[in-house]
């Protein structure tokens, strides 16, 4: 038994659902034994830790690292302590805490950085790189290496309600994907061996009812959003991503391939035969693009890629041109690069994980408490006095990346009179363009031509890129005319 299990005398008894924990694991570290010979003991200790703690997650990444995912800083310290002294009983090296981010796009802003209205705002601002693949309307045209296939797509931000709905139903989407792509013959043969045909029908009806409810609710949210979204968009959903269950959509508006959607994956009606052959390659390219975005290789969130057109030129069959040959890989690469360029053609933003912070404090130290929150880019939602006492209950949100040593600093600044409690709450857009530079006259007057004030989104992005070994655009010497030799103090 890993974490939960159901014991029953009946084979057809459905398993109980896992416990819905209030604390969501969000903070991760990589661990390795100090002595390489203790690796087996570390693996055994990680397995015991995973069984003992219902809130911790233990996984092995593609790079071979052993990763522990915990709910917060205190929980992380407790898990590492238990791993070293109770479960593995070997000394371990722990990496710096890794805080996840998300990448998204937003509608074009209506005000600039000094809250002045932007006149004649364009829908898409073409990047200074002069990329010819990006059109003025935001549609990206990508060709495969042999020019045999062409893809046209664009990126559109998803409404916040739809993004939150998809984020909360990832397990259902994963179950639905497995159910829709399962082969009916194999499933029936397996169930016949178990001799529970009646329960198969019941579970199938239940799954179908849940899927219909999910589809109806998603259609209602799209219809409610209005604008470019409507209930008809629901029938154009081709795939979810990343990992086929994330909060991003691939919208199919290919004129000759409209029959392809997530709800009827096995139908061939309304599908072009040439496109149907390379359908999986196209979807895999979308999955790769949403799993690692262009800002800092973090997963995308709340992005819809609308495929306007896709065509494959029919050529005589040559060696290596089958569905598993070079063309499939070329289509995958073209779709991935097209999605990344379409993402960059829109106003792009980072999303930070946020803690919900509950603080109990006395009235005389409220000012110091607010000072600690402001230094860490926190935001106070509301604060009320507890009835029958002189204690204030303050509700705030705080970025996870700024939460390290938050509780000790709060206790130090308030002489122990304020005690915070942190629980992961949601993802929030950092409303600053990582590549922002002054453009309007008011911004030049306020920030100057150099605009050398700190860009919080750029700082987070560079930290992640540096940790992953990606290129960081940073000058060793900036604004050399500002530097001077300090003389002696007089």
Concatenated DSSP letters for 319-381?
TT-STTSHHHHHHHHHHHHHHHHHHHTS-EEEEEEEEEEEEEEEGGGHHHHHHHHHHTT-EEE
Q: Say if residues 463 and 455 touch (Cβ distance below 8 Å).
A: no
Q: pTM here?
A: 0.79
Strands 303-312 and 149-157: antiparallel
Between CA 167 and CA 127 the distance in angstroms is 30
- Residue-level pLDDT at 209: 85
Write out pLDDT tens, residues 138-167.
889 998 888 888 999 999 999 999 999 999
Q: Which helix (H) or strand (E) holds 143?
A: strand 140-143
Residue with the two structure tokens 């057109």: 309
Q: Which residues contact 259 (CB under 8 A, 6 or more apart)?
A: 267, 268, 269, 270, 271
Choose among 216, 313, 244: nearest CA to 272. Answer: 313
Q: Return the biggest CA–CA distance within the chain.
A: 94
Q: Measured in whole angstroms, how far is the alpha carbon of residue 280 from the centre of its chain? A: 22
Two structure tokens written together for 261: 């959607």
Q: Which residues of 176-204 are buried (b: 16+ CB within 10 A; e: fewer)?
A: bbeeeeeeeeeeeeebeeeeeeebbeeee
Q: Which residues contact 129 (CB under 8 A, 6 or more apart)?
A: none
Strand, helix or coil for residue 134: strand
- Residue-level pLDDT at 113: 66
DSSP string, 400-430: GGG-TTHHHHHHHHTTT--EEEEEEEEEEE-
pLDDT (tens, 9 = 90+) of the chain, 490 residues, equals: 566 677 888 877 877 766 665 567 888 899 999 999 999 999 999 999 998 888 888 988 877 889 999 988 888 999 999 999 999 999 999 988 888 999 999 988 777 666 666 665 443 444 444 567 777 778 899 988 888 889 999 999 999 999 999 998 888 888 888 877 664 434 444 444 443 343 333 446 777 788 889 889 999 999 898 888 888 888 889 999 888 888 999 999 888 888 788 887 777 777 887 888 888 899 999 999 999 999 999 999 999 999 999 888 876 554 444 544 578 888 999 999 999 999 998 889 999 999 999 988 888 888 898 999 999 999 999 888 877 777 888 899 999 999 888 888 988 888 888 888 888 888 999 988 888 877 777 777 777 666 666 788 889 999 899 888 888 887 776 666 665 566 655 4
**Cα radius of gyration rounded to whole Å, the chain:** 26
- Residue-level pLDDT at 137: 76
Two structure tokens written together for 116: 């002045």
Between CA 110 and CA 167 the distance in angstroms is 27
Choose among 130, 14, 38: nearest CA to 87. Answer: 38
Two structure tokens written together for 308: 């306007």
Between CA 267 and CA 312 the distance in angstroms is 20
Q: Which residues contact 157 (CB under 8 A, 6 or more apart)?
A: 104, 105, 106, 107, 302, 303, 304, 346
Residue 103: φ, ψ to 5° = -115, 140
CA atoms within 13 A on the CB side of 218: 25
Two structure tokens written together for 352: 């930070």
Between CA 120 and CA 137 the distance in angstroms is 15
Choose among 334, 451, 14: nearest CA to 200. Answer: 14
- Residue-level pLDDT at 152: 92
In the chain the domains, ranked by start, together with CATH numbers, are: 27-94 (3.30.70.870), 139-182+206-313+326-346 (3.30.230.10), 349-468 (3.30.70.240)
Q: Say if residues 455 and 432 touch (Cβ distance below 8 Å).
A: yes
Q: Torsion angle, CA of 390/391/394/400, rounded to 10 degrees?
A: 160
Q: Measured in whole angstroms, how far is the alpha carbon of residue 251 from the centre of its chain? A: 19
- Residue-level pLDDT at 288: 93
Residue with the two structure tokens 């990448």: 103
Write out pLDDT tens, residues 397-444.
999 999 888 888 988 888 888 888 888 888 999 988 888 877 777 777
248 bridge partner residues: 241
């Amino acid at each position: 038994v890993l974490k939960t299990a159901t014991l029953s005398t009946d084979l057809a008894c459905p398993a109980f659902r896992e416990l819905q924990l209030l604390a969501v694991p969000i903070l991760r570290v990589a661990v390795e034994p100090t002595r390489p010979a203790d690796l087996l003991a570390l693996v055994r200790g990680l397995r015991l830790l995973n069984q003992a703690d219902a809130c911790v997650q233990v996984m092995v990444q593609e790079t071979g690292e052993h990763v522990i995912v915990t709910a917060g800083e205190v929980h992380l310290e407790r898990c590492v302590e238990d791993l070293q002294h109770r479960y593995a009983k070997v000394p371990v090296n722990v990496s710096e805490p890794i805080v996840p981010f998300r990448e998204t796009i937003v509608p074009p802003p209506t005000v600039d950085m000094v809250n002045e209205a932007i006149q004649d705002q364009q829908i898409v601002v073409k990047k200074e790189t002069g990329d010819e693949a990006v059109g003025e309307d935001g549609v990206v045209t990508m060709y495969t290496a042999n020019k045999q296939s062409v893809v046209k797509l664009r990126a559109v931000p998803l409404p916040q309600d739809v993004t939150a709905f998809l984020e909360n139903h990832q397990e259902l989407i994963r179950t639905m994907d497995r159910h829709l792509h399962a082969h009916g013959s194999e499933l029936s043969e397996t169930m016949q061996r178990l001799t529970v045909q009646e329960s198969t029908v019941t579970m199938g009806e239940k799954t179908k009812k849940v899927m219909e409810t999910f589809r109806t609710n998603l259609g209602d949210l799209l219809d409610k959003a209005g604008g470019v979204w409507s209930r008809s968009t629901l029938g154009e959903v081709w795939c979810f991503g990343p990992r086929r269950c994330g909060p991003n959509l691939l919208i199919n508006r290919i004129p000759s391939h409209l029959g392809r959607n997530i709800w009827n994956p096995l139908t061939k009606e309304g599908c072009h035969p040439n496109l149907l052959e390379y359908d999986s390659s196209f979807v895999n390219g979308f999955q790769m693009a949403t799993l690692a975005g262009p800002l800092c290789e973090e997963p995308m969130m709340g992005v819809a890629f609308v495929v306007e057109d896709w065509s494959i030129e029919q050529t005589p069959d040559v060696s290596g041109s089958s569905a598993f040959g070079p063309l499939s890989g070329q289509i995958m690469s073209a779709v991935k690069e097209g999605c990344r360029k379409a993402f960059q053609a829109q106003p792009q933003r980072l999303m930070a994980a946020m803690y919900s912070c509950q603080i109990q404090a006395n009235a005389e130290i409220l000012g110091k408490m607010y000072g600690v929150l402001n230094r860490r880019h926190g935001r106070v939602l509301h604060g009320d006095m507890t009835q029958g006492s002189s204690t204030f209950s303050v509700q705030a949100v705080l970025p996870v990346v700024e939460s390290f040593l938050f509780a000790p600093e709060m206790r130090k600044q308030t002489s122990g009179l304020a005690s915070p409690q942190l629980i992961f709450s949601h993802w929030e857009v950092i409303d600053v363009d990582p590549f922002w530079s002054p453009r309007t006259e008011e911004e030049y007057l306020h920030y100057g031509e150099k605009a050398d004030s700190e860009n919080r989104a750029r700082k987070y992005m560079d930290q992640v890129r540096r940790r992953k070994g990606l290129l960081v655009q940073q000058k060793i010497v900036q604004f050399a005319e500002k530097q001077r030799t300090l003389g002696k103090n007089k």
